[in-house]
Structure 1
Amino acid sequence: MKAFDYARATQLSQALDRKAKPVAGGTNLLDLMKLEVETPERLVDINRIGLDGISADETGLRIGALVRNADCAADMRVRRDYPLLARAILAGASPQLRNRATTGGNLCQRTRCAYFMRLGTRCNKREPGSGCDALGGINREHAIFGASDACIATYPGDMAVALSALDAQVGIEGRDGARQVPVRDFHRLPGEDPQQDNVLRPGEIITGVTLPEPVGGTQLYRKVRDRASYAFALVSIAAVIDLDEGRISRADLAFGSVAHKPWHDPEVGQVLLGQRPSDRVFAEAAEVLTRHARGQGQNDFKIPLLRRSLIAVLREATGTGGHNVQNL
């Protein structure tokens, strides 16, 4: 780890330092600093600037950027009105990490691509213009949507996938003022400059996340992974599904570990709206979802895996059975 300066902020204005890297739980940043993937010259500790509360008003539920993941998942309002979020958080990491990780830090976590994490390999995200060794390399866990010739890494988190399905807003504060960004627009696709993960500008920090009014319906989070605990997803699905008189009246879906950001395709929900639940309708939605999916060789299996996983989630959410669609 390279030497760095450290400062402790006691108010929000002190955290808005364009030359410093904010740190709260540090569960991702400090790992990257130890590997010298991240080498900030200055850290500013933001743990004492507030932003650690959960509050409700007529617009919904606001979760401060410094709320620990464990506290968010345990909050009774989250468990009652947004169980999808609680389930996604509890599907990620270990209890020890959830006790330290924060809402804002979770949104800002970086990819777990092995080439990004390992100095000596080519990675445009870590060293712009150097190339991408994941292309043609070990890419079993990499993106099938939204990738580019510069980067095929995936966003690894669970919480943001749930927030995308719930259509949350991210509050951001900087020297130029405050702004709200839909969580679906917060993370970026790689394009030609994959080193920029999200829309945060230098000197800006996340102040919180706002969930809309309670959405109801059946809320599910399914994480498909190599082992049942402490593993990142191969694919994940966050779903909010509601029925009215036997027809699907709401279908908000987001997908994780398949792109550089939580993946949201509104056309998938449009296929489902107004339909009576059936394997035929579910299979059509799965086909629409994966119509532009592109494997990289070792991760080609993710495409049929995502189709089958979506069908299984839709069956569970609508309480329907049916034959197993093995050939999708």
Structure 2
Amino acid sequence: MRPDLTQLRDLIEESPGFGRGPAGGVPEALIREAEARVGPLPPSYRWWLAEYGHGRAGDADIATVAPAGSGESSGSSGSSGSGESSESSESGESSGSSGSSGSSGSSGSSGSSGSGDDPADDPAGDPAGDPAGDPADEMYEAVTAGWRRDCERLCFAVEPDCGGQFRFALDRAGEDGEYPVVGRDGADGCEYPVAESFAGFLAVRAALSRGLRDGPNPAIARLWRSTPGVLLDNGVHVYGPHLIQERNETFEVPRYAPGWVLVGDDSGGDGLFMRRHGRDRTTLYRLGLGAAGEDIGAAGEPVTDDLLGWLRAGGPLPG
């Protein structure tokens, strides 16, 4: 499912744990320069760079882009876990943990015993041996930093204190130029699936931070792994993690329709409901927002049992 960038902006603005760097967005020229070095970046990540430039999703710091050779080449980069800009590295000391698996916590140290894709194992520890403009000379926070690329993986976010990494799976071309996101466990280095896009990664992080786990049912969880909700031209609106709790509380769905969840609306007074529990958690029903009761399955109008396919088709509603 193509990420809805309007919903993505709303998610970011309404998620307190999503910090944004003070410098603002990155110029298009710098994004293109970064792509010349690491390859095409997924559209939703490019959008994030142009809009916000630098920041975090929960406790995961998201990589930015910078002019080639702009970083302090090895020992003096800022910490990915601190959320501060590389300006704090002028003292020549590392400000905190690198977030890479196996790292000693100091981003400039070349003595770490971590794995081969750890920044400490990168040639950046020996700047004299690097040609000018080598990715190893990039600032630590830059997505072009040499340690971030490991064969068909590109690390774009790290958690502090030797936590996990989040990477674009460059060998798995996704929908509309997006790359699936995989996580790398900071303790054992194992890889696991996270989302189908950068926008989906942010939606997943927002859902976790709000106690929603991976979503109220499998169909919504699958949607959120691609986009934080959808608003179609015909008014069909399927909620993201930033809206779903408030909408269900407003219409008292847990009180009047336990076992059901309001997942969206038609912008005209009807709600879109799905079962939270039970065998049939794929069918979407349409029913007036003021008419929700315990038996939405009988009172409501079935719309689809393939949420993503229906949304891709424009979300047609029964006449």
Normalised-by-shorter TM-score class: under 0.3
Highest RCO, 1 vs 2 (Cα 8 Å, sep ≥ 6): 1
TM-score when normalising by structure 1 = 0.25
